[in-house]
Amino acid sequence: MSKISAAITAVGAYVPEYVLTNQILETMVDTNDEWITSRTGIKERRILKDDGKGTSYLAIKAAQNLIEKNNLDPKSIELVIVATATPDMKAASTASYTASEIGATNAFSFDMDAACSSFLFGMSVAASYIESGRYKNVLLIGADKMSSIINYKDRATCIIFGDGAGAVLFEANDEGYGLKDEYLRSDGTGREFLQATYGGSSHALTAEVLEKGGHYAFQEGRTVFKNAVFNMADAAEKILERNNLTKDTVDWLAAHQANKRIIDATAQRIELDEEKVMINIHKYGNTTSATLPLLINDYESQLKKGDNVIFAAFGGGFNWGSIYLKWAYDSKN
């Protein structure tokens, strides 16, 4: 009897209409297009401007795109996971609301938060549910409305982040396709360097905190960059070594889109040619939990059945890792 693995069989995505370009940012903070592009690779990012619309709106739109593209009956979905660092509310699950709104009435659901590694860790969780034999399919959505926690007077963060969502359907596979291996790690001593401190249980959100902007995201750029460069590249290299993969047998690198220099460093560490590196950071910036599924969606037409795809991410916590997945289908477009 063949071993059950978890394969991605469908993808979908959504980004808001409003485009925040580097030129617009020049009118908001002391920065310029050349500085942003040379240091991050970002040219523009999408922002959800509509009042009252949160991360669930993005997640719902991405899930609906997947459902429509693949003629999927939402009632057949057994589990919905929303990977996000910006849930709609503190207690009420964003995933539960998303599942209800897309008509996944037979699914149970929950949120996952590992910052920029949320979707990567979510892949592991979704695959585990399927490999156990308990469920046949899992809808995993990566979605973040980062604009809700960004201070647009802080040039260190406002140039980096954008809003968006991507969704993938994991299904049981007995042909050897799907998630093959993972290397996932975390180090809590790094949390002071990248976080949104206030609003959590240990740091109350008060009027004074709001006045000082303490509820916005903060990062110590140099420390985060150094850790991201080393750990993402190290995790990807370990995955290749453990699975006897080489630059010639890897077809794609899907790396978290935080900074093009970090992506380049990861690709160079595993000696991968530039044309094998998925890139869309110039269009969307860092959408946190949404970067990996947005990459898959943008490159879906180029992916071929049997392709070896290496995923890698690094995020606040610190959390990082890499996953090796064998692609399960040729483009349906």
Active site residues: 116, 256, 286
- For residue 74, give the DSSP letter: G
Alpha carbon 330 to its chain centroid, in Å, reads: 23
How far apart (Å, rounded) are the C-alpha atoms in residues 170 and 167? 10
CB burial readout 282-298, b (16+ within 10 A) else e = ebbbbbbbbbbbbbbbb
Strand partners for 311: 254, 323
For residue 153, which of 27, 28, 3, 63 has the smallest C-alpha distance?
A: 28
**CA distance readout (Å), 52 to 48, 88, 116, 123, 135:** 10, 10, 24, 29, 34
β-bridge pairing 308-315 and 319-326: antiparallel
Gyration radius of the chain over CA positions: 19
